[in-house]
Chains A and B, each alone.
Chain A
Amino acid sequence: MVDVPFDTVAGVPPAEVGEVDLYHPKSWWTRYVFSQDAKVIAIQYSITAMSIGMVALVLSWLMRLQLGFPGTFSFIDPNQYLQFITMHGMIMVIYLLTALFLGGFGNYLIPLMVGARDMVFPYVNMLSYWVYLLAVVVLVSTFFVPGGPTGAGWTLYPPQAILSGTPGQDWGIILMLASLILFIIGFTMGGLNYVVTVLQARTRGMTLMRLPLTVWGIFTATVMALLAFPALLVASVMLLLDRLLGTSFFMPTLVEMGQLTKYGGGSPILFQHLFWFFGHPEVYIVALPAFGIISDLISVHARKNIFGYRMMVWAIVAIGALSFVVWAHHMYVSGMHPYFGFFFATTTLIIAIPTAIKVYNWVLTLWRGDIHLTIPMLFALAFIVTFVNGGLTGLFLGNVVVDVPLSDTMFVVAHFHMVMGIAPIMAVFGGIYHWYPKITGRMLNEVLGRFHFWVSFLGAYAIFFPMHYLGLLGMPRRYHDIGETAFVPASAHDLNAFMSVAALIVGFAQLVFLFNLVWSLFKGKEAGGNPWGAASLEWQTPETPPGHGNWGKDLPIVYRWAYDYSVPGAARDFVPQNEPPAGLLAQGAGP
């Protein structure tokens, strides 16, 4: 698809925005620590997110040990178990996935993919990272304060979140809310940068409809986050006031340990509405960047243009918009009006349409493609499988009458781990294997990578597939020990033990992955500038890894979309975005 807005007579018009001064680092500190370069900030974000993610991974091991072998590990008491599930969920959803997709992938890829030298406001971008780091430090500190971290569950529902029966009532919940508020402030600074860079700082020839889908996914997710996080901020502030000042925004009149509390007249349902107005878009904040990354990986490694590019873009935008009107499908059992359930079930099922369009288009991109089963491609295929799997169980949970008996069972846990745990993590891994050569100049080790993939993919199914069955049996979630409950057969306990062993093995594979990241940095095969033969702009930088300012002297000029693979008659099986069509001479950056 070569549609050139530049005519061959007049050539390429000059840039609308002139060159912008970059901040040039003067010392080691401003180059690598207090760096204003989006690429360094991206790596800082990624390392921080993956480090805190390791904490969450270890917490999941401890939870699985307790569930698989109840009574064996005496050091895990019920309070700690609740603290583990809370911190695991909170870290994975917000501090790992959101930060990694938007702060990590977003910072690295947006300027490179749109042909900019950096984000529009590098200083604000740097602040964004440091505030995020502070949020993570506050979060980690909850493990060391008296009473430990909060055990309220990642949804932090009041009234229980701030009552004395919940672990972490002293300090844990306060610091948790403070950390969330910091995270939102930090994210807003970064998010404004990403949005403005995509809208206002593209290079010549880069129209919105020529952006790689990765940018579309990250861009839409960032816009959503800027509109959804305010609800979480408000909910956190109000819950903090309830806890610290004794206001009663969310706290009804209730009796605690035989004592009437000081609270009265508040609405716990209000918190649920605020939380899920953030919480549901959050699912797509994590999923949309994954959609984008997967689209690009499939197209590159199947050597075929993405099928239905425009439909893919509009599907991303439609999913983003619809995700703001479905939030109460998390609240079918909260006691809200049944007609609301009808409305939210309808909107929820409508989301299946754009999502299905995306899945069909991925499959049609693969159809008769020249599929290379590289490691990024394997992860991309695994994403499609796990995402479809999690999406189908979403159809069960989206319907009120089916959801009610399944609520708060392991079925729900299996569903959301498949759809927003495993699937986005597959996209993260695929993205890292794909772009690591651009970031470091070296390939990740192939053997370790394949080991990592197969163990993670098959292991994820070993963990979460049986979990659906346990949920259908009625096994509740968030229980420290299900005990001698008659409706749970003995075989279920065996399954639990099996899942726990699988979880430990999958966790081990992640350590191999981390080792691979470090080892390949020094010993990996030299990658060259464009090892996958990809057409999008980030692979066309003059240096690998890209230098300060990304593009050397002249900004690139874009003549085509990012998906010109296997074009009949072309010299190679891909045509880079910045390769001028015949008849139009390549030009410098103009005046």
Chain B
Amino acid sequence: MAETALTNTIEPPARPGGWRGIAADWSSDQRAFKNVSWGKAMMWIFLLSDTFIFSCFLLSYMTARMSTTVPWPNPSEVFALTIGDKRIPLILIAIMTFILISSSGTMAMAVNFGYRRDRVKTAALMLATAAFGATFVGMQAFEWTKLILEGVRPWGNPWGAAQFGASFFMITGFHGTHVTIGVIFLIAIARKVLRGDFDVERRGFFTSRKGHYEIVEITGLYWHFVDLVWVFIFALFYLW
């Protein structure tokens, strides 16, 4: 439980390091991961499960792309924008990637300020992260609109393999949903931070448990994971 890890935890005596330490922790009583709260453990395990979901999506896409007998549309051309009179490949995706990775930076800073109990800065940085995330989703919506106007559909497109549109909409849609959920999560937690819930240990509406600044870090774990997934999507879908 988050609060207990931060308030009531008694530091165990010095433990051996390295592999011996891991063996000692796993053969001890009470907790296998010492000094890891319940919430953080749960988020890590969830992310492991989610990793399998995205892996399955990406492997399925790669299978489809490798086994198709018709040409696969060239992503450099499909995802190019004409700015001025220059046609720049992948420019929008590059900007989106830059924005999402920047949001990881603000998120990391928010976690830092959270543990210093700096309410305003933490909330501001979380809202900045959420704004980056929302911008990312907005640009993705723009990209979807552009492709749909050019005739790309889940069941076909003008340039080649039908699985191109299917995989594109499915994978970016699933990732975009993750980002959107993250944005909502960030705004909700930022509101709690700003209100001072974690300073007065206000109880959650549903869970009736006390909240703690650690939730900022747990939100951060999720957010960094979503960023990391995007790096793989970027590499495997756009750069391949």
Contact present for A247 and B208 (CB under 8 Å): no
Contacts of A266 in B (CB 8 A): 64, 163
Q: Are B42 and A241 in contact (CB under 8 A)?
A: no
Report chain A residues within 8 Å CB of B154: 241, 245-247
B56 contacts the other chain (Cβ, under 8 Å)?
yes
Whole-angstrom distance between the alpha carbons of A425 and B204 in the complex? Answer: 40
* Contact assessment for B207 and A23 in the assembled complex, using a CB-CB cutoff below 8 Å: yes
Q: Number of contact residues on A: which range applies? A: 35 or more
Distance from A147 Cβ to chain B, minimum over Cβ atoms (Å): 23
* Least Cβ–Cβ distance between A263 and chain B, in angstroms: 9
Question: Is B102 an interface residue when CB atoms closer than 8 A count as contact?
Answer: no
Q: A18-B7, A234-B56 are in contact. Are A203 and B30 (CB under 8 A)?
A: yes
**Once the chains are docked, how many angstroms separate the CA of A234 from the CA of B57?**
6
B 158-200 to A, binary, CB cutoff 8 A, 1 in contact else 0: 0001110110001000100000000000000000000000000
B78 CB to nearest chain A CB (Å): 18
CB distance from A416 to the nearest CB of B (A): 24
Given known pairs A201-B38, A245-B154, the reply for A207 and B163 (CB within 8 Å) is no
Cα A411 to Cα B70 with chains together (Å): 42
Question: Shortest CB–CB separation between residue A492 and chain B, in angstroms?
Answer: 42
Contact between B52 and A238, CB atoms less than 8 A apart: no
B209 nearest CB across to chain A (Å): 6
Rounded to whole angstroms, the CA-CA distance of A231 and B56 in the bound complex is 6
Contact of A264 among B49, B67, B162 (CB under 8 A): B162
Q: A208 and B26 in contact (CB under 8 A), knowing A188-B49, A200-B38, A245-B154?
A: yes
- Whether a CB of chain B sits under 8 angstroms from the CB of A161 is no
Q: Which of A267-314 contact B (CB under 8 A)?
A: 267, 270, 274, 277
Q: Is A371 positioned at the interface, with any CB of B under 8 Å from its CB? A: no
- Known A-B contacts A238-B60, A266-B64; A248 and B41 likewise in contact (beta carbons under 8 Å): no
* Distance of B5 from chain A, by nearest CB (Å): 7
With most chain B CB atoms within 10 A of its CB, the pick from A234, A245, A558 is A234
Shortest Cβ gap from B136 to chain A (Å): 22
- Chain B, interface residues (CB within 8 Å), range: 35 or more
A92 to B45, CA, bound (A): 27
Residues of B within 8 A of A226 (CB): 45, 48-49
Q: Which chain B residue has the least Cβ–Cβ distance from A192?
A: B42
Q: Contact: B67 with A267, CB < 8 Å?
A: yes
With both chains docked as a complex, state the minimum distance between the C-beta of A9 and any C-beta of chain B, in angstroms.
Answer: 15
| A5 on interface, CB distance cutoff 8 Å | yes
Q: Is B155 an interface residue (CB 8 A)?
A: yes
CB pair A247–B56 under 8 Å, yes or no, is no
Question: Are the CB atoms of A17 and B9 closer together than 8 Å?
Answer: yes
Q: How far is the CA of A333 from the CA of B145 in the complex (A)?
A: 44
Residues of A within 8 Å of B170, CB to CB, are: 237-238, 241, 247
Instruction: Verify if A206 is at the interface (C-beta below 8 Å from B).
Output: yes
Q: Which single residue of chain B is at the shortest CB-CB distance from A265?
A: B68
The 3 closest A-B pairs by CB, nearest first: A18-B8, A247-B166, A230-B52
18 extra A-B contacts, CB within 8 A, seeds A188-B49, A201-B38, A248-B162: A16-B34, A18-B7, A20-B1, A120-B1, A121-B42, A192-B46, A193-B42, A199-B31, A204-B29, A204-B30, A205-B29, A230-B52, A231-B56, A234-B57, A241-B170, A249-B166, A266-B64, A558-B29
- 20 chain-A/chain-B pairs, Cβ below 8 angstroms: A14-B10, A16-B10, A16-B12, A17-B30, A18-B8, A20-B209, A21-B208, A23-B207, A123-B207, A195-B45, A199-B41, A207-B27, A229-B49, A230-B49, A234-B56, A246-B155, A247-B154, A249-B166, A265-B69, A277-B56
